[in-house]
Structure 1
Amino acid sequence: MKKVVVQFDFRGMTTKQYDQCWVEIRKAGHAHPKGLLHHYGAPVSNGMLIVDIWESAERFEAFGKTLMPILEKLQIPKTKPNILPLHYEYNGNLVAH
């Protein structure tokens, strides 16, 4: 499996909607989405920027079957994710030997 970066630019999304999205994801039984390695959500001037690292595009797409109905339910504007192959990953907590 090839790791991927998944980036969403949710224009108009509020931090309240973002937080509610996670409540709904947990209710759907995905407190720890399978294949999601890292998730970052940051407020920006026009909404929320989301950046994930997934084990593979296939794992992200499988999770999308849960995520997309939640986004619709919360009336979060649709946006297409940018999916890129991960070239390099650094974790400052790991010490190479």
Structure 2
Amino acid sequence: MSIVVRFSPIALTAEKYAEATRVLTNAGEWPPAGCDYHVCFGLAGNLMVSEIWNSREQFEAFGTRLMPILAAAGIQLASPPDIFEVHNVVKG
């Protein structure tokens, strides 16, 4: 079952986001297997991230590799990510 994952980072800047993405890419971890959509959005200095994953298992497997990279980039989460089962997806 597909899931939506919604992250709420604390004061995420474009620079911190770019650094984490660069490290993930250089480590061969980006884009992650099983992640259908990744969206970074919001106001400067307060960006948020939402993703659609093929399964919770794939997300959790990636999370074990992601969290140390976020910590190294100085990215903290306000709370654990919100996870929802997908009811429907429409692509235009």
CA distance in 1, matches of 2:74, 2:31: 23
User: What residue number does 1:90 align with?
Assistant: 90
Instruction: Work out the CA distance in 1 between the residues paired with 2:82 and 2:45.
Output: 18
Aligned length: 91
Establish whether residue 60 from structure 1 lines up as the match of residue 59 from structure 2: yes
- Residue 23 of structure 1 corresponds to 22
Q: Deviations over 1:22-77 (max 9, x none)?
A: 10111111122110000000133661111100001110000011110001101111
Rounded to whole Å, the distance in 1 between the matches of 2:2 and 2:40 is 19
Q: Which runs of 4+ in 1 moved over 2 A?
A: 43-46
Q: Could you state the TM-score of these two structures normalised by the residue count of structure 2?
A: 0.91
Question: How far apart are the structure 2 equivalents of 1:87 and 1:44?
Answer: 28
Q: Which amino acid aligns with 1:6?
A: V
Q: Whose Rg is larger?
A: 1
| Alignment match, 1:72 | 71
Q: In structure 2, what residue type is equivalent to 1:87?
A: H
- Give the aligned partner of residue 12 of structure 2: 13
Give the letter aligned to residue 57 of structure 2. Answer: E
Q: What is the percentage of aligned positions where both structures have the same residue?
A: 32
Scaled by the length of structure 1, the TM-score of the pair is 0.87
User: One-letter code of the match for 2:13?
Assistant: T
> Does structure 1 conserve the Cα–Cα contact (< 8 Å) formed by 2:3 and 2:56?
yes
CA offset at residue 11 of structure 1?
Answer: 2.2
Provide the rounded CA distance (Å) in 2 between the counterparts of 1:21 and 1:45.
16
- Structure 2 spans left out of the alignment, 5+ residues: none
